[in-house]
Structure 1
Amino acid sequence: MRSFRSRIAIAAGLALATLAALPPAAAGARPQPVDVQLLSYTDFHGYITPQNNTADGTIKDAQGNPLIVGGAAYMATHLKNLRAGKANTVTFSSGDSFSGWPVEVSHHADEPTIEFMNKIGTSFTTVGNHELDRSMEFLRDHMGKGECFGVVGEDSCFTDSAGHPFQGAQFTISTANITRKGETEPLFKPYVIRRFGKVRVGFINLTTPTTVNGSTSYQPSLDNLPLVETANKYAAELRKRGVKAIIANVHEGGAAGNDFNGCNDAAKSGPIWDFAKNASPDIDAIVTGHWHWFFSCSVPDPAGNPRPVVEAANHGRLINEINLKIDGRTKDVIRESITSVNHPVTRDVPADPEMVKLVDYWNAKEKETYARPVGTITGDLTRTRDADGESTLGNLAADVAYADSRQTQGGGADLAMVAVAPVKGSNSLRGDLLYAKGANPADADGKVLFGEAWATWGYANPVLTVSVKGSQIEQALEQQWQTQANGSVRFAPLAVSGNVRFRYDTTKPVGDRVLPENVLINGQPLDPDRSYRLAALAYTLLGADGYAAFAGFTDAVRGQRDYEAFRTFLRNGPVTPPALDRAVAVNTAG
């Protein structure tokens, strides 16, 4: 036995001597960390064309000097420069990439933005609230899979700048906390995993809980799950799968001062800071959006370890870069080595030629789309209000909402109401629609062009049909007069659909100017105790216009967005300006 042990000891000694003579890697030394670069942008909103206004085309540096920024061609160049020399890099979006506001994008079902995102090598995106401005199916099937709807080449599936038919996203659309109403399983992949050599990084994608009840993204068939609980659930799941480097990509944000690479604790506001304090310590970095703001902060996780929390403004003005070092043995992020910086997308670099072609193509295409006829009118539709608050355009907008509801399954409105001079917020009546031909060569007397209709009514808001009590309708009509802080009374009229007539008495006190018996719906007096189906824009029903009467509405059904509802109505024309006979001011004796 002694001899056996002696042989083992000698062998062990020889082995140790051999190991000592070997290079460190062969001796089992810790492998070198794996470097991984994360490049992200947020709230792009289809701003492929460089903007020249202050809000969208500039950002201030730390000294307060404005930098000229933005544009697809410059963003592409900056991304290429940032990736140079990086073996492990991934580019992603923190949501609200499409549902674009620029007309060259919005007139083409947001397909130009998808083409741009594909071409810059976007790997994945979380779902922003505006990604649901149309529907979950539109996002999943059209944007994601390239499925066509309506008339190809007019409503969807336009030919892109390279001459190819629309194919949809070449990146993953992901969110962990959007579900069917009453369910808990997400409708999209809750996270994505990307492999870099022998290490993997998991990205949990999340959407602001304000989404399904937002004024443009109102989706009564969907639910939002809470952010922290959902993030923690999937962080634990990723750990079980052996993924230890974890990033939360959250379309929810905040503010932290005016330095895009700073972090002013005294200026912090917004929900992302509570998320950052409470989300699982397994999450190594938090990339945010939604607030259209900017910061590069470090916030301790629940275990007391610092981790970056960043936001990269909006409209392609900044690109965020996070650099990770991942331990090759544990596969976890070395927290103290993380760096983060927001890069301004300056225009002092060469414009990417492919993106210049893309932008020029879609702007030229927009001129064609603008000139496409969508209907005819027999007279002027204007926002000019008479003494009773009525206008031809306002009355028509109420008729459009009513018609849209009547053709929406589950809608069936009894009446419609549209704010024409809201107490607060935006006015959906954005421009007059005149009978006389305009400057566009495609125009003619009475002809309505696509671009003219778009600029007349709407702000991408859905028509909702909801159930309300007759007393709420009466209260809403009373809220057309609101006493201001200085004692004056502001008149903020509501347009009603053509099957409604009402009288009001301005000699009475505010709040007591409309009697139920003086409100007729299809010729019948308003019943305060009866339930009515009311069609209106979500913005108004949610109180954003300043009319609180509709609070507590039930049984919401979503129709078309205002833009599409208006075009549908025009196609069924010709449209004649409505008479201004729906509201009448009378005294008590009258």
Structure 2
Amino acid sequence: MPATSPSNPGRRRRTFRVLAAAAGLATAGALAAALPADAHDNGGHGHPRPARYQDVQLLSFNDLHGNLEPPSGSSGRVTELQADGTTKTIDAGGVEYLATHLREARKGHSYSITAAGGDMVGASPLISGLFHDEPTIEALNKLDLDVTSVGNHEFDEGAKELARLQNGGCHPTAGCYTDKKFKGADFPYLAANVLDEKTGKPILKPYTVWKKNGVKIGFIGVTLEGTPNIVSAEGVKGLKFQDEVETINKYAKVLDKQGVKSIVALIHEGGLPASGSYNYNCDSPGAGDGISGPIVDIAKNITPKVDALVTGHTHAAYVCTIPDPSGKPRMVTSAASFGRLYTDTTLTYDRFTGDIARTSVRSANRVVTRDVAKAADMTALISKWNTLAAPIGNRAIGYISADVNSTGTESPMGDLIADAQLAYGKELDPKTALALMNPGGVRAGLTYAAKGSEGDGVVTYAEGFTVQPFANTVNLQDFTGAQLIQVLKEQVSGSNAAAPKILQPSANLTYTLDLTKSGADRVVTDSIRLNGVAIDPAATYRVATNSFLAGGGDGFTTLGLGTNDVVGVDDLEALVRYLTANSSAAAPLAPPATNRITIVQ
């Protein structure tokens, strides 16, 4: 019978022939246990019987973010640790190559599952984002993805749009992009810890069970509990996000009662490895803890019923073991982001117990190199959507004299966006005093070197879309000077104390960030200047931000308290207008100097 998802009973997948029922396996006894993993005996009746232990291949990846084409710059490279301790970088990523690598990896593995850890869509390049990520869902269907958890970016356009990506149908406002109705995902999206506030039930399936020839492996999918803090208020309206550990433990019990003893958790939350190299040995002697971050405490508290964790969100690469509550090592993996890596894990399934023999679990990250043949079906898919996007994407919107990078505590790209929002804010209201941009909303930089047929220094709409793909609006709000000072302190205090989120300021706002201090004191209050003048705590200032920040996102609760709101155009349009007005082929725009924040270390 076909291996199908319970939510997609008609799904066309690789078909499997039933070799034996699970019942009756216990009679295999010691003979079966003595056989190698793929060996069979006939039980004296002339009918082959599966061996006790069956290796199941689990291929996984995470945080694709609609990167169908090979990502450029550092987003399209991985770092590899060499035997002599040096490192080298490798160009990686692109679904044409990912498809080839996954298909090659599956060869010789009759028991193979492909799973993902969320953020398959959202913050996507123009080829996918312009079409509300329908192209990415089509690509994932062609990749034979079996299951994925939701991530925070699956909620960028709200629960209704996520349901459309799962179930199909034309976009409610944009309509159908081709003459064929969008069919939706062939694989289930799992959202065990995302509840409808009215019903108290998960908005999508909490778990699914993969089955083949008596082998049963359950998958539970969750996103980080803090999703509302990093998604616009509109995107999570009417939803409640529950604790990751409590949710996984709850559904692990449910699966156990159903006789499913082998369980994998797909968790859109992650960690930070001690090395940036994808092949770093996280468990090597003398390596220290190997990994830090939220996933460590999560992994240590998830029930031992769960046999492996596929994680994401941090865009890091790691293959680590973290002890479960009983002290037994358990595999925890993440495959970086943008389709640059995939993780190849072997789960050894014990047919007698129905559980995974964890001592036999093996895992490694593999590079999606670009030295293999492109998958023809993916090339055709990309060509189709690029043809539809070309009239919009190829339009020149500005000119730059050098790369505008998006890296650093204060980045040239972040400063440029803030300047663009201030300029647009002044168009709406001349009283607009400054602009602030969240660093997480700066998804890429602008590259000077020509791409395709465009000339050096030309900025196209497609490139601008890659920088700002969220369709946030530019909002104006009034704040007191005291509130504005508090906003700057919230960059390094409260929920941002451990991992600061440094807002990118418009050119007229300057201050000192003293990293030798702790908490809110890292922002030197006496140094804050607007147009060279100290902030007056009692005065009122008109501030331009995007709608995400205006809703208090990223832990900036004070930005959610502004008054006298005015909502403008989307942030990308503000950037387009700024580049068009302030650059030309004869006078390209130079990258900002990033001298607005003085950093003391």
TM range (shorter): 0.5 to 0.7
Pair 62,113 (structure 1): closer, same or farther in 2 beyond 3 Å: farther
TM-fit CA distance, 1:325: 1.6
What residue in structure 2 maps to residue 141 of structure 1?
164
Against the structure 1 CA distance between its residues 146 and 372, is the aligned structure 2 distance closer, same or farther, given a 3 Å change threshold?
A: farther
Q: Secondary structure at the match of 1:311?
A: strand
Distance (whole Å) between structure 2 residues aligned to residue 20 and residue 394 of structure 1: 75
In the other structure, the counterpart of 1:49 is 69
Report the 3-state secondary structure (helix = DSSP H, G, I; strand = E; otherwise coil) of the residue aligned with 1:170. Answer: coil
Deviates more, 1:321-330 or 1:180-189: 180-189
How many residues get paired?
A: 472
Q: Residue 260 of structure 1 aligns with which residue?
A: 278
Report 1:3-152 matches (<5 A): 25=43, 31-63=51-83, 64-142=87-165, 144-152=167-175
User: Which residue of 527, 540, 548 maps to 1:538?
Assistant: 548
What pairs with 1:115-264 in structure 2 (closer than 5 Å)? 115-142=138-165, 144-152=167-175, 157-159=176-178, 164-181=180-197, 184-216=200-232, 219-258=236-275, 259-261=277-279, 262-263=281-282, 264=287
Question: RMSD of aligned C-alpha atoms?
Answer: 4.6
For residues 348-371 of structure 1, give each alpha carbon's deviation from its aligned partner in whole angstroms, at most 9, with x where no partner exists. Answer: 221111112222332333212337
C-alpha contact 1:126 1:173 (8 A) present in aligned 2 = yes
Q: Which amino acid aligns with 1:89?
A: S
Corresponding residue number in structure 1 for 2:570: 562
Structure 1 window deviating more from structure 2 (181-190 vs 105-114): it is 181-190
Deviates more, 1:39-48 or 1:479-488: 479-488
Check whether the contact 1:418–1:537 (CA below 8 A) recurs between aligned residues.
no
Q: What is the CA distance between 1:140 and its match in structure 2?
A: 0.7
| Offset of residue 213 of structure 1 | 1.9
Identity %: 29
Structure 2 CA distance for aligned equivalents of residues 313 and 21 of structure 1: 42
Partner SS state of residue 484, structure 1: strand
Deviation string for 1:160-210 (max 9, x for gaps)? xxx744222111111111113476421111111110211211001010122
Alpha-carbon distance in 1 for matches of 2:361, 2:379:
34
**How far is 1:314 from its partner?**
0.6
Structure whose CA Rg is larger:
1
Deviations 1:439-484 (A, max 9, x none): 99xxxxxxxx9769858x9551645999999797787899986642
Counterpart CA distance in 2 for 1:35 and 1:539 is 48
Q: What amino acid is the match of 1:394?
A: L
TM value normalised by structure 2:
0.66
Match of 1:550 in 2: 558
1:512 has 2:527 as partner = no
Match of 1:420 in 2: 435
1:394 corresponds to which residue? 422
Structure 2 CA distance for aligned equivalents of residues 558 and 204 of structure 1: 42
Describe the superposition over 1:281-332 as per-residue Cα deviations: whole angstroms up to 9, x where unpaired: 0000011011100111112211122221111111111111111121112111
Query: Residues 196-232 of structure 1, C-alpha deviation per residue, up to 9 Å, x if partnerless?
Result: 2112110010101221221457524322100111110
Instruction: Say which of 461, 470, 490 aligns to 1:460.
Output: 470
Deviation at 1:558, TM superposition (A): 14
| Distance in 1 separating the partners of 2:343 and 2:433 | 41
- Is the 8 Å Cα contact of residues 462 and 560 (structure 1) preserved in structure 2? no
Q: Which moved more, 1:129-138 or 1:300-309?
A: 300-309
CA distance in 1, matches of 2:379, 2:251: 40
Alignment of 1:310-459 (within 5 A): 310-370=333-393, 394=422, 396-397=424-425, 420=435, 454=465, 458=468
One-letter amino acid matched to 1:202: G
- Work out the CA distance in 2 between the residues paired with 1:102 and 1:520: 32
Q: Which amino acid aligns with 1:177?
A: N
The equivalent residue for 1:7 is: none
Partner of 1:580: none
TM-score scaled to structure 1, two decimals? 0.68
- Summarize the Cα distance change of 1:66–1:118 in structure 2 as closer, same or farther, 3 Å threshold: same
Residue type of the alignment partner of 2:570: D
Measured in 1, the distance between the counterparts of 2:90 and 2:305 equals 37
AA partner of residue 562 (structure 1): D
The letter for the 1-side match of 2:248 is A
Tell me the distance in 2 between the aligned counterparts of 1:48 and 1:196.
31
Contact 1:475-1:549 at 8 Å conserved across structures: no
Give the distance between the partners of 1:193 and 1:558, measured in 2 at CA.
Answer: 49
Measure the CA separation in 1 of the matches of 2:484 and 2:323: 52
Q: CA deviation at 1:158?
A: 2.0
Amino acid across the alignment from 1:229: E
Change (3 A) 1:324 1:558: farther
